Amino acid sequence: MKILHIATDDKFVDHALPVFEKVYPEANDVFVFASKKPLKYVELNPDHIETKQSNYFNKKPKLGKEAYQKYDLVIFHCLRCSTYPELANIPEDTPTIWLGWGVDYYVDFLHGIPLLLSDTQKIYNRLVGNKPKRQAAKLVKRLVGVLRPRSIKIRAVERITIFSPVLPEEFGMVKNARTWRRFPEFASWNYGTLEDHLIKGFEGESVTGKAILIGNSATYTGNHAEVFSLLRELQVNDRQVIAPLSYGDPKLAAILNAMGQTYFADNFEPLMDFMPIEDYIAIIKKCGYVIMNHVRQQAVGNIVIMLYLGARVFLRQENPAYNFFRKSGITISTVQELVENPELLNEPLTQIEQAKNKAIVSDYWSRERAYERTRMLVEKAFAMKGLECPEVLPETYR
């Protein structure tokens, strides 16, 4: 069996490939679609790097049909504008899997959900939204047919066999967002395992301080500005505030860095440079409290790490991740609760709550569960096409 993984230049593919390779040894090829070489985030050696760019209105496959005919299964790691046109050249009897990240379905199919809070929206308008050229481009797209590229993506999704979003709850959200001629079947799958990616080298450890971690990246959907303002209103001036800003929009990172320095002075620690995961965890392990102000699902890996380490995590109540973790039995708080009861920033989880959270995430994101989910994902994709999947004996991946 041969499996083709289509990805963009992002760190997540490095977490995925070892899992697939363990379950299906020597069966995986990786094609990375990137704007340029060398790759910035992907560390593995892809079998092919595609750098040909297409304009907004010319969404054509970059690889010919013959490139896909030798593969039994094609997996899309995030369905980006650079990759979804490829569905047109994949044989219809070849199973396809879409491993969603959030950015690929919130923007196109869940765009009716307002993701930015008021202060962040003002920053966005200043940096991005109100630029004359951008407004003109938006108008042109509407006039000449903005639905054409989106309709191509809709048709692409309707050809996919399996869709696995980050959270099970998001499958229904996307499916019910519009009327589809056909919609993929659901399967559960997650990036990364605790042992190999998320807490490797920090097994059994716990948070060591009362610093506050805000967000996971320099993205507008993190709504950092509102959290900074809240902490300033609460006069949190004796705590270290850590904000990862190495990933995302550099202009937003600069503004958030300046805002953090103004509000918290020497207590503010922005993480401006991309770093190895072990160095990152060594820093955020100081954070006994975590505030993720996203309206949508985001930063799940960071949340899992901090739950494992025993931090009190605050998510927005409307964030689908909040219900997911709560239904899983995890002790988790909401940002709205923090607004009503600021003393929660001085109340660490009890040892019983920490132990329970650690046990739940250790099971759900374990290596063994990842291998099992991978096998079930691939088998279901073949079954949906009426095909048999090569059997994998348990000893193959244990």
Q: Which of 128-132, 290-294, 387-391 has the lowest mean pLDDT?
A: 128-132
pLDDT tens for residues 62-95? 899 999 999 999 999 999 888 999 999 999 999 9
What is the mean predicted confidence (pLDDT) over 14-39? 91
pLDDT tens for residues 113-127? 899 999 999 999 999
Can you name the CATH fold of 3-114+147-190+368-391?
Rossmann fold (3.40.50)
SS3 call for 309: helix
Domains 3-114+147-190+368-391 and 195-364 share a fold: yes
Specify the DSSP element, H or E, that contains 257.
Answer: helix 250-264
pLDDT at 144: 43
CB atoms under 10 Å from CB of 280, counted, come to 16
Q: Which amino acid appears at position 268 of this protein? A: F
Residue scoring higher pLDDT (293 or 392): 293
Specify the DSSP element, H or E, that contains 301.
Answer: helix 300-309
Rounded-to-integer distance, Cα 383 and Cα 365, Å:
25
Homologous superfamily (CATH) for 195-364: Glycogen Phosphorylase B; (3.40.50.2000)
- Enumerate the domain spans of the chain: 3-114+147-190+368-391, 195-364
With a pLDDT cut of 90, the percent of the chain lying above it is: 75
Q: Which amino acid appears at position 274 of this protein? A: F
What is the mean predicted confidence (pLDDT) over 214-239? 96
Q: At what angle do helices 320-327 and 300-309 cross, to 10 degrees?
A: 40
pLDDT at 51 > cutoff 90: no
